[in-house]
Amino acid sequence: MKKEFSIYLDLVRFLASLLVVIYHSNMRNISEQVLPFSDHGHAAVIVFFVLSGYVISYITATREKEPLDYWSSRLSRFYSLAIPVVLMCPLLDMAGEAMAPQFYVDKTTHGLAAVRIFTSLTYLNEIWNLSIMSFSNVPYWSLCYEMWYYALFAMVTFTRGQPRIWLTGATLLFLGPKILVLAPIWILGVVLHRSRALNAVGPALGWVLFLASWPLYMLFQHYQMTEVGSQMLLNLIGEKWHHQAAFSKFFITDYLLALVIAANFVGFRAIAPAFSAPLLALEKPIRWIASFTFSLYILHQPLLQFFAALINGDPKGYVFYAEVMAATLLAVYVIGSLTEHKRGHLRRAIHALLLKLTESRPWKRGVTPALAPRQAGG
């Protein structure tokens, strides 16, 4: 991957996460004003899905060519934050609600806490017609999609023959349609990385795709196509099933948005050298802020509400909002530095555990024969 394109993807990743934060901070009891760029939250998640498919395809083609490397990296990345966040969230919610309950009306739940913790840590919140809210942490739903995309990708990549068919089929049946209808968006990212035709796009077409993607995205947002997709699905399947679709109810127009995002990525990849000077000059700060993207995404919702309750200021101006955002960002920095930035220790521990498991007799007899052969040179 060209360095300029890699830096661009990091910048996009951080900005998408920031848009999600602004979307969830757009509460009238924090600021009475409607915040700029506060309607891009769901679109930003679609950006994440396309980007995730691209990055996972890239890393399995370059460095994580073995199942142990792949899973130790994926599990350590998610669980370095998922464990502390899932356990911390109900405590923050209870403390914040005790101080200023108005910030938690219709924004959290405490019932069946053990079930919520279990399903969150096993990423089962969104299978079939379930939609189990991880306390106040609404953005957690996308992790419950993405982890299963990781799993399905690993099954296709690292297994072979009938075991691949049976394992993948059983997983698809286990997950149900809700997670699967957004899978093509994630797969699109894989296609962007692997397609020879798309990789061969030249600068001329690249400029057209890149420049056209921005007004297309703005038109998509201007005409509220996300809600249009939701209404289309409602008309097709009725209110009951539409409600159970939860975060997948926008999927019809999410496909259209994913194509716009894909055009942006393909276009910029072709013209990336034209942006060498600014991107290389800003590489260090972009890489640094991007290194907190996952922490920002998964931590911001419960922290926003907790600090809003703790400070409990006046929402008529922007001072209260600025105080809540500053406290949230500072907390994200501290927690991210202690968790996501230290995940190397967890990765090594998981790798050692998985290695011990693969060396056991049951694994060698039952699992090893199903694994795909190592790639040449890998």
Both tokens of residue 307?
A: 């600090």
- Please, which pLDDT band fits residue 76 given cuts at 50, 70 and 90? very high
Lowest mean pLDDT among 78-82, 83-87, 105-109, 321-325: 105-109
- Name the residue with higher pLDDT: 369 or 282: 282
Residue 377: pLDDT band by 50, 70, 90 thresholds? Answer: very low
- pLDDT of 215 over the 90 cut: yes
Q: In this structure, is residue 375 part of a structural domain? A: no
What's the pLDDT at 362? 81
**Residues paired with 6 in a beta bridge:** none
pLDDT at position 23 over 80: yes
pLDDT at 34: 87
Does some domain include residue 146?
yes
CA distance 172 to 124: 13
Per-residue pLDDT of 301-355, as tens digits, reads 999 999 999 999 999 988 999 999 999 999 999 999 999 999 999 999 999 999 9
Q: Which domain holds residue 272?
A: 3-370
Place of tokens 């230290």: 342
Q: Which residue has the tokens 């997948």?
A: 248
Rounded to the nearest integer, the mean pLDDT of the chain is 94
pLDDT of 169 higher than 90: yes
DSSP assignment of 256-287: HHHHHHHHHHHHHHHHGGGGHHHHHHTHHHHH
Does 376 fall in a domain? Answer: no
- Judge whether 123 and 147 are in contact, CB under 8 Å: yes
pLDDT for res 265: 98
Given this model, what pLDDT does residue 376 score?
Answer: 45
pLDDT band per the 50, 70, 90 thresholds, residue 375: low
As beta bridge partners, residue 371 has: 159
The continuous run of DSSP H or E covering 124 comes out as none
Domain presence at residue 83: yes
Burial of 344 by CB count in 10 Å (0-12 exposed, 13-18 middle, 19+ buried)?
exposed
The secondary structure of 177-188 as a DSSP string is: HHHHTTHHHHHH
Average pLDDT on 69-76 reads 96
* Nearest-angstrom CA–CA distance, 224 and 217: 11
Residue 342 carries which DSSP code?
A: G
Q: Please, what sign has the CA dihedral across residues 354, 359, 365, 368?
A: positive
Confidence of residue 374 (pLDDT cuts 50, 70, 90): low
| Within-domain flag for 378 | no
The pLDDT value recorded for residue 373 is 65
- Residue ranges of the alpha helices (H) in the chain? 3-25, 41-62, 67-99, 113-122, 140-158, 161-175, 177-180, 183-194, 196-199, 203-222, 225-245, 251-271, 276-281, 283-290, 293-311, 319-338, 343-358, 361-366
In a domain, 341, yes or no: yes
Tally the domains of the chain: 1
Residue 377 lies in a domain: no
Taking residues 211-239, report their average pLDDT.
97
